[in-house]
Amino acid sequence: MRGALLLTVGAIVSISTVSARAAVAPAEPLSVALSAGSFDTAGANAAEVGLELRWANRLPLGLGVILGVSANEDEAVWGHLGLRRPFALGASRWRLQPSFAAVAYDKGESKELGQTLEFRSALELHYAFANRQSLGLLFYHLSNGSLSDVNPGSNSLVLVWAVPIGR
């Protein structure tokens, strides 16, 4: 977990430094993101779906809050609360968005990750359409950061569609 946290923080700081010379991502709107893909891609490989609320990235450093819930076909359910930071890739509509979140995980009949408290380090590449919707690919790692003796971790790869709500 320490490595994933350091990697996420390092990516945000590095990209923040680079984005000072590149195009700055405009504030993204409050949105609901729907996701579907593969949980534990290197192991059990169960189908997963998710729903996430993404607040506009108006906190210091361009951060935005994320709150979500996901489930897989093996009856695991998990919720997460964290921070995200979208970065524009040049002058295009492509965005790179790292995020980090605390996770409450109930394994159901799915993979044992060691305990209820887990952490999610994620990286999303998405395209922001003119209508403010976006479509992207999200890779994330769940781990308890060695807070328990059991810490196998899990990687997921999901397709994400975000739709703005409100103005």
Q: Where are the domains of the chain?
A: 2-164
AA letter at 130: A
Q: Provide mean pLDDT across the span 44-57.
A: 94
Residue-wise pLDDT tens digits, 83-136: 999 999 988 999 999 999 999 999 999 999 999 999 999 999 999 999 999 999
Q: Provide mean pLDDT across the span 69-96.
A: 96
3-state helix, strand, coil in the chain (%, to 5): 15, 50, 40
Q: Is residue 62 pLDDT above 80, yes or no?
A: yes
Residue-wise pLDDT tens digits, 21-30: 344 566 778 9
Q: Is residue 13 pLDDT above 60, yes or no?
A: no
Q: Give, in words, the CATH class of 2-164.
A: mainly beta
CB-based burial label for 143 (10 Å; 0-12, 13-18, 19+): buried
Task: Please report the beta strands in 40-116, taking only residues with DSSP state E, as ranges in sequence order.
Answer: 46-54, 64-72, 77-84, 87-88, 94-106
For residues 61 and 69, the answer to whether their CB atoms sit within 8 Å is: no
